[in-house]
Structure formats: structure tokens, C-alpha cells
Amino acid sequence: MTRADELLGGTGIRGATRRGRESPLPTRPVRPGAPTPLGARFRTGPDGVAGTNFALWAGGAEAVELCLFDEQGRETRCPLTELTHEIWHGFVPGVEPGQRYGYRVDGRWDPWTGARWNPAKLLLDPYARAVDGDYGIYGRAAEVYGHMRDWPEQHVADTVRDDRDSAPFVPKGIVVHDDGPDEWAEDRRPKTPWADSVIYELHVKGFTKRHPGIPEELRGTYAGLGHPAAVDHLVRLGVTAVELLPVHQFAHEDHLLKRDLRNYWGYNSIGYFAPHAGYAAGATTGAQVGEFKDMVRSLHDAGIEVILDVVYNHTAEAGELGPTLSLRGIDNRGYYRLQGDPRRYADYTGCGNTLHVVQPHVLRLITDSLRYWVTEMGVDGFRFDLAAALARSFHDVDMLSPFLAVIAQDPVLRRVKLIAEPWDVGSGGYQVGSFPPLWTEWNDRYRGAVRDFWRGALPDVRDLGYRLSGSSDLYAWGGRRPYASVNFITAHDGFTLRDLVSYERKHNEANGEGNRDGTDDNRAWNCGVEGESDDERIQALRRRQLRNLLTTLLLSTGVPMLVAGDELGRTQGGNNNAYCQDNETSWVDWALLEQPGWKALFELTSRLIRLRHEHPVLRRRSFFSGRAHSADGLRDLAWFTAHGAEMTERDWYAPAATLGMYLSGRDIPGRDARGAPVTDDSFLVVLHAGDRPVSFTLPGPPWATAYELVLDTNSEDQAGAPGTLHEAGTVVTVPARCVLLYRVAD
């Protein structure tokens, strides 16, 4: 017998079980019920009595108890004795919406083989539609761990079972009304084509928490995001979709709670069907479901789609030393990828575990969740965090993996917007450009090239040319289109746009990790001073760089993605990993709109988005060919040096700070909704990243006979010299670090 066995009365014995566990708690009779659908579904029984059917997949378990809790937290247990294809199920008469519940699952305790059943731990139903409570309130309790968290010999702590009851310390699932598909939402979906999309990444709480136009009691909530004041900003800006940082129920990591911090971003999911309770304005006993739907309706009414950032690659249960909250206690070996040593988890995510998506029941959990959010909650698409982890078959990333195959043939999911973060932290995990045609991808090569160009770090302009024109080198295969590239310069992870031009080094001390967290590869330029500066010249240069970056993004072919607050100069004080900063560091500061310089930045961003919506040449559905389409030799895309000459092969390899890009609107592939050819104005974009002005010769025929200046980022007021005409061949002076946009005035 081991030391653990002696101290815990045998609970550490390899292979021990909990058969015949006695409970003094009251029980309720349970009818057989049905094994489908999974989860808790309120309905009328065969005898006309209303109640709820409960169904839980728990492969390998020896017993399952449904646990019901009243308002005082008193527990009633309902043994589920019916077992169909590894699904434990039962119908409980009298259980109505609003009922709080969880499960206790019994089986072998044998961590050496990956078996970690522990009926002392109350488990959240993976299919729970709503959750009452917040793991941040209870997460510090050692009782939520299936093993002895504080065992003195930490290298074996995960093998020593903790038999203390976790029910008082964990949130509970909530039975909700099953309204079925929201047909109103389906009829009113904006259904914006990919090529016409402009995505705006935002955090429900961070976007609304400080907004002065939103009633105080609604700030930080779904209701706040659906409020007219919030929607009005999105409409004035002109974005077509919001991409919400995770809104699935999530938990807070123990190491954050110990430092009095909380997980702000939410990439620590534990409930894939439940809107995060912390973002509900009203009571969390199921009301958050209706509140979320109302938010979606408000956004749809304004023509704005809702995309969810979803985290199906791992859960909040972390590695073998993590808490037992749900899947680990239901069937650890069935839900998670384990190593050759089954005590350990395969970790392709950097978060301690990886869901075993190859398993049919895990794949079912994910696809059931996705369909639920589309058909019943009204969302329009998903951005998949660390999508390469989901595309792994057994070890390697496989673009014919079960996950991608199921998505491709699903009649609901294949018609919504699907965005991959095309990498994970495992070997071979970087897969930019590799996802199949149904998918779009976050294009971090775009981010790197644009950042490097404007900080003067590109060795030549070859990569920039590809990124500006839709990244055909990555996506022109298998029927993919330019909108397969989601172009971005900033995201939630990393510097804000303002910080990108104000800091070169991360300043993450507030995270409590000794400034070791977050990337050191920022590709940033602080304009000569680290951090905020009172020097008006530095401030002006930084605002000009912001204009350059936003203009580049919104004139590039592909789907642009903005981050909430970048359009008005939001700063995080140089923190490039603010995942645990649920405070004013991360919340949008709406007072910036009252400052002339930042208000002008918002107006420029809105103007650029409007320009994009008005001109199909800026949102092409097909890649440029670079070939002449008429006898005069005019091509749909051409590149020019500062001398007004077309670039040669040699020019692409030479160091350069200036690039001219000509976009022809004469022969745009495709037809409009009426079947007519698509034509548009033609434009010349001049990008100059040098620190001195440069002379640029405007190209002559066949490209143009005259040009009209549309935008000049050197001007704080954005207008530059609107309407100014220049004859072709004119030598214009391009100010240092500037973008000029000309419309061909033939």
C-alpha cells in the first residue's frame, strides 16, 4: 500500500472504484426517458405530465446520478439507470425551466490508464443551455479538483483522489425552454457576401462597459451590445459583422484567481451551449439565453452579422493537475487526447489539454453546439481558435480530417461563415493557406508584411505585393478566392494599433508573470520614443502611421478585420497580452471620441470603409490576373516604381520604400445580381514608408490621362486636396510616411 493509500483510507489504490456509494440525500423517481437529444429538454411526457428529459453520454462509466438543486442549494439525486449506446438517460416529471442541475458520474479511479471518475465531484452537463454562477467565485476551492490539489508530493498529486464534495463550489446547469429554431432570425439574417464583409473584433464587456450612451445597468452585457447606442457606432463606422471574443461559458484559471485577476478574453471554455453568465444583465437562471437572442436581433436589424470566436480545441480543465468541472469526470479517456502515458494529456494548444475530435461523440458535441448557435441563437458564423488542433487526425494536421469533412457536408454549417486561426502550438501546426475552399483564414503573413513595411523592415516589396492584392500565393488553389484571406494588422492578442506605433517592447507587468508572458516579436516601431509622449511631433507622426496602417488595410484585397477601439486610438499601455486585464486597460475608452485627433481617425476609418463599400474594385471576388484584357494593354493590376515605370523582376527584389499599385475597374470578373458586367472606377495607390519625401511620377496612358486625389494620409483632416486633378506624367511629391489614393479621372 502506498503512502497515499494509507492516508486516504485506500482511495489512492490503483483501479479503485466507488461501487455501492451510500447517500443520505433524497432521491426522486425517474422514468426511462429517451437517449436523444442529449442534454436537458423540457417537454411533456407520454402521460401528459410535464417534465425534463436528461441524456448524458458517459462512455465507460459505471453509474450516473442526476443532481437537482433548489434555491437554497439543497440537493436531490436521481439515479439514471437507462443506458443506450453509452448514453445515460431518464425523464423526471415536474422538472421545469429554471431548474439547477448537474451530474455525478461513478467509475474507476485509475489515472495510470487515464480513468479519472470521481462521484464526489459535481459535473456540468456539456449540453447545458445556461449556467447559473461564475467559476471565478468558486474556483479557488480545492474541492473542485478531482485529485488532492495540495498533496505535498506534487509529482503524484494527480493520482490521489479527493473525496470532498464539490457541489457547493461550482455553478450549475439550468434547464431552459427549448424554443427551437428562430425562424425570425433566419429570415432577417444580413447574409453579407464574403467579399463585401468588413469584420470588427470586439469583446462584449470591453466594448460596452464604458460607453456613456448605454444605461449603466446594461454596460458590459449582451443587452448593452444590443442597445441603440452601441449599434449606432457600428453602423456609423460601416462594419458588416462583429466577431465576438468567446461567449461560451468559461472558467477562470487558478493561477489568475490567486493573483486576484480573472480571465478576461474567455479562451477557457467549459460550456459550449451556454452564453457566458457573466455577460447577462438580468438573472442568470436562463434569462441570458433570451438576452443573447435579443442582442443578435438588434444587430441583424442594423444589417450586422454576428460571428462567434469559439474554442473547441481545449477546455478549462487544463492538464492532469487541473480542476474536474465536466468532461474529465464524465469520461476523461473519451473526451481528451492522452499521451502514451495516459496520465498525461497531449497538448497541442498550450493550455494543458486537447479535445479528442477524432472521437465520434466529441465531434458530435462540437457540431451539435455549432448548429445550436446557428439555428436557435441566430449567429452567422464562427472563428475557430487554434483550428489546426481541430484538423489533427491522430497526430498530424490533416485537411481530410473528420472535423473538416463533417463541416463540409453539414447542411447547416457549410452555409455560414467559417474562419480558421490556421495554426496551433504543436509540431506542423502552422497551416496558413492550407485550409479547404469552404474556409477563410486569419492571414498573419499579411499582418507581418504590412507592419514590417511601415516600420521600414522589409528587405524588398515582393511579400507586400502579394498581401495587398489578396495573397494569391497562399489562396489561389482549389477554387479559393481572395476573400479566403482575412487581413488584419492587430487582433485581441498583441498590441493595439496605437500601441503598435508607441511601443517596441511589451509592458505586461500588471499580468503578474514578470513580463515573461506575451510575444517578443511585435514588429512595432515607437516613432523614436518608448511609450506615451508629450512631444507634438511624435504624436503627429504616430497618428499619421495609424492612418497609413488603416488605409493600407482597408484598400487591400481580401476581408479586412478591425479591432474594437483601434479606430479611435485605444491603448493598453503597451500590454500585448491583456488576457487577464478585466479593467480599463482593456475596455474601450469612449472619451477618446471627444478629442479632435482621435475623432478624425474614426472619421477616416469610416470614410475608408464607405469607399470600400462603394467600389467593387476594392472587394474583388476573383484574383487579379495581371494580364491585358484589351488591345491598349491595360491590365487589371499593375505595379509601379516611383519613376512611374512598371516594376521589373529586378525591382521586386531591390530594397524599396515606395510602391505604386494600380487597380483597374474596367474588367472586373463576374456579373452583378441582374447579370450585368461589373465595372468601376480605377485607382492608383501610392504607399511610401520612407522618412523623407519622394517624387512620384503618375503613370501615363494606357493607365490614365489624369488623376484625381481622393485621400492623403499626411493630412490630419484626411481630405488632403480633394478634387485636385493631376495630368498623367505629373511628378508629385509624396510626403514622408504617407499613402496617396488617386482615382483615374479619364
Catalytic residue ranges: 385, 421
Instruction: Please list, in sequence order, all residues whose beta carbon lies within 8 angstroms of the beta carbon of residue 178, skipping any fewer than 6 positions away.
Output: 41, 42, 43
Handedness of CA 611, 616, 617, 619 (dihedral sign): positive
How does strand 440-443 pair with strand 485-487? parallel
Helix (H) or strand (E) holding 226: none
Cα separation of 638 and 631, whole Å?
16
Question: Is the bond preceding residue 37 a cis peptide, omega within 30 degrees?
Answer: yes
Q: Where are the alpha helices (DSSP H) in 3-156?
A: 3-7, 135-138
The conformation of residue 705, written as its DSSP 8-state character, comes to S
Cα separation of 245 and 277, whole Å?
14
Cα separation of 212 and 11, whole Å?
56
Cα separation of 59 and 689, whole Å?
60
Kindly report the number of other CB atoms within 10 A of residue 571's CB atom.
Answer: 19
Cα separation of 82 and 89, whole Å?
6
Check residue 487 and give left, alpha or beta (phi > 0: left; psi -120 to 50: alpha).
beta
Cα separation of 9 and 12, whole Å?
8
Instruction: Please list, in sequence order, all residues whose beta carbon lies within 8 angstroms of the beta carbon of residue 348, skipping any fewer than 6 positions away.
Output: 313, 337, 354, 386, 388, 389, 392, 424, 425, 426, 429
Among the listed residues 213, 240, 242, 245, the one whose alpha carbon sits nearest the alpha carbon of residue 228:
213
